Amino acid sequence: MLLHVSGASDFPVDPSIPAWAAPALWAAEALSAIIALVRAPEIYTAATFTPLILTPHIHAATADDGLHVIMGDRAGPLRLWIADDCHGRPAVVIPLDESCWVRLHHLRRFIEHLYGRRSGPLPNVFRPTRYRIRRLAHALQALTAKRSGATARDIAALTDPEVKSLSGSLWKDVHQRARVERLLTLGEQLAAGEYLALLQYGRRAFPQTTSHTPC
């Protein structure tokens, strides 16, 4: 859940606290992977409901809208939002929106967890490529270096020390400088809020029209 404090930035917790020490509790509209548990409708009168087994949990917090839980799993954490009145008749809500495929995958992971089985890693379609992850990491490293006083040439020298010996006129046109500038632009965009788009990775837009083939 994003924290909105007057005069402060929007962070889930104090940004100086490592994520592995206090995992962020994201709002469902920010993170597609959250599984929403509610009380099942009364039409399921004959159903035998499975008791909620929320162990082991890494982090949990009660908010005005219900209980937020991060459960530990070998394939990665499971993130749940649990309505107050659902424990005796738990059901899952999957909105028919652009994130439904992501939520369905994490629901399957949750069900496998309840059965004591492992569901496997996140499919590639739901996560950035390794190249994209490395580029995001390099962009944030470049931005951190710049904000610590490093010049673009200092940053370029981290991967190519020879740029330190280039004359000023040559440095203006080398590809290493252009690469650093692109990384800094990406880093600034991420720091300004674009990192939130990573929480929605794997969304698929619905088609504008749907055609039906007669039987």
pLDDT reported for residue 51: 78
Show me where the domains of the chain are located: 35-125, 128-200
Lowest mean pLDDT among 5-19, 178-192, 194-208: 5-19
Percent of the chain with pLDDT over 90: 27
All residues at 6 or more sequence positions from 63 whose CB lies less than 8 Å from its CB, including other chains: 1
pTM of the model: 0.72
Q: Is the pLDDT of residue 15 over 80?
A: no
Rounded to the nearest integer, the mean pLDDT of the chain is: 82
Distance between CA 130 and CA 54 in Å, rounded?
A: 32
13 confidence band (pLDDT: 50, 70, 90): low
